[in-house]
Amino acid sequence: MFYLTYMLSELRRRKARTLLTALGLAVGVGLVVTVSALSEGLDRAQDKMLKPLTGVGTDMSVSRPISTSAGKGGGPGGGPFVRLSTREQGQLRKENGGARVGLRKLGNPGERFSRDDFISTSQLSFPASEQKKVAGLPGVEASAGALTLSAMHVSGKVPEQPQQRGPRAGAVVGGPPNDIHVDQRTVSGIDTTKPELGLITPGQVQSGSYFKSAAKREAILNQSYARRKQLHVGDTIELAGKKFEVVGIASLPLGGQASDIYVRLGELQDLSDRKGRINVIQVRATDSSEVSALSKQIEQSFTGSKVTTAEDLANRVSGSLVDAKNLSNKLGTALSIVGLVAAFLIAGLLTLSSVSKRTRELGTLKALGWPQRLVVRQVTGESLAQGALGGLLGALVGIGGAALASALAPTLKATVAAAASSPGPFAFGHGQVASGSSTVTLDAPVDVSLVLLAVGLALLGGLISGAIGAMRAARLRPAEALRSVE
């Protein structure tokens, strides 16, 4: 009891030095808290801006890119080059063979017409059985197949003098006649029995609901497409002459797989004459540490496949958000270390100075019979108390700094580029990400763990400074101390 009373009385007697030591520790600790809070805010901003692949539980996406020619490094952009077999070439012709606006076959001149063509432009569809093979690989927890296509709707009146040669979809040479309208949309068919692995998940639906009734045709629209076409929940859209009710509007994260319209996989397979075929496999690994090895295993077992992981998508992100994160990683840690070292040195020097000024007092205690360990305990205990006070002040300084950073934080921008290896005007499968730019306002959240970190670091600083002072006190000789004058 005497020990605590004596320690507190000494701290009160030297209020200015106690407060100065605590403030020195508080500044260093507060800097660590503020920088850590900013780093946490940047991490949250990146998670918000870029939810790789579907954003919920999917570690990788498997597709089979198409290339008709190859450079030295394989396909365009150095990507994999798929040499199609005769059968695959026939399948590709079958899938895309109706992708011309054949005006001669649409009816007699002057008649109204409407037609839909489904086109795969940069990747090859494959049997859905490949998804089952991937699901059977060691390290795969779950997988789901999907089909993404470009749907071109052409409507209007057959011209009096139809062109001799119709243009390819999406590349109408010289433009279509004035009374012919072309509307191109991307459509994805998803396995609704595995919503957590779909190209769109229930959590991404902003209004309306996820697919509800298998008894009727339903569709979910990308928010940007719905806004552009002024469509809402409850409206209907038409695909290949079939009407679909809009049951939901979804907002896809930057970096997610983007299409304009989402329907059930079986319905899109039927409409596009691709029964039993998919062109994307979403895969979830049993453990995140196995993603890299599993990615290589899939590419080896599935000829011509391309696996895109969350890391691949993250590497496409650029902009001020990424610049700020890189700066935080490089400069923030160094700044925190420098601040802590400076704070510990200040506390140590002040404690050492305090011990030097208390030479006569500590020598008297030794002369009265205090063993060396009690003197060391006294000095160390006082330093730890100063450290605890510094920790509380440091937490307040850090919280205040984080709040100020949040109030003054600029709006940061993140940009995701489409895959460079995806040929053609559309980017499907691994290349079909929600490319573009988005902004987020940075905040600096402070949680309980950061406060505990502040107190812990300050106590460590008090312990270090106490050890420095204790070593000085331990070397004092009673006779020499009693001769000194404060």
CA distance 13 to 8: 9
CB of 41 within 8 A of CB of 442? yes
CA distance 125 to 140: 22
Residues belonging to the chain: 486
Instruction: Write out the chain in H/E/C secondary structure.
Output: CHHHHHHHHHHHHCHHHHHHHHHHHHHHHHHHHHHHHHHHHHHHHHHHHEEEECCCCCCEEEECECCCCCECCECHHHCCCCCCCHHHHHHHHHHHCCCECCHHHCCCCCCEEEEEEEECCCECCEECHHHHHHHCCCCEEEEEEEEEEEEEEEEEECCCCCCCCCCECCECCCCCCCCEEEEEEEEEEECCCCHHHCCCCHHHEEEECCCCCCCCCEEEEEHHHHHHHCCCCCCEEEECCEEEEEEEEECCCEEEECCCEEEEHHHHHHHCCCCCEECEEEEEECCHHHHHHHHHHHHHHCCCCEEEEHHHHHCCEECHHHHHHHHHHHHHHHHHHHHHHHHHHHHHHHHHHHHHHCHHHHHHHHHCCCCHHHHHHHHHHHHHHHHHHHHHHHHHHHHHHHHHHHHHCCEEEEEECCCCCCCCCCCCHHHCECCEEEEEECCCCCCHHHHHHHHHHHHHHHHHHHHHHHHHHHCCCHHHHHHCCC
Q: What is the pLDDT of residue 401?
A: 86
Domain positions in the chain are 2-53+320-483, 83-303
CA distance 66 to 84: 8
Q: What is the pLDDT of residue 417?
A: 55
Global pTM? Answer: 0.59
Q: What is the pLDDT of residue 472?
A: 66
Q: What is the pLDDT of residue 273?
A: 87
Amino acid at site 312: D
pLDDT 10s digit of each residue in the chain, 486 long?
A: 666 776 777 777 778 878 888 888 888 888 888 888 877 777 776 666 655 444 445 678 888 876 544 444 444 444 454 566 676 666 667 666 544 545 556 667 777 877 778 887 667 889 999 999 999 999 999 999 999 998 888 888 877 664 554 444 444 444 455 677 888 899 999 999 988 888 888 988 999 999 988 889 999 999 989 999 999 999 999 998 899 999 999 987 655 557 899 999 999 999 998 999 998 998 988 887 888 889 999 998 888 888 888 777 666 665 555 565 665 566 667 767 777 787 777 777 777 676 666 666 666 666 777 777 777 777 788 788 888 888 888 888 888 888 887 887 667 665 655 544 333 333 333 334 444 556 667 777 887 887 887 788 788 877 787 777 767 666 666 655 555 544
> CA angle, corner 468, sides to 463 and 469, nearest 5?
95
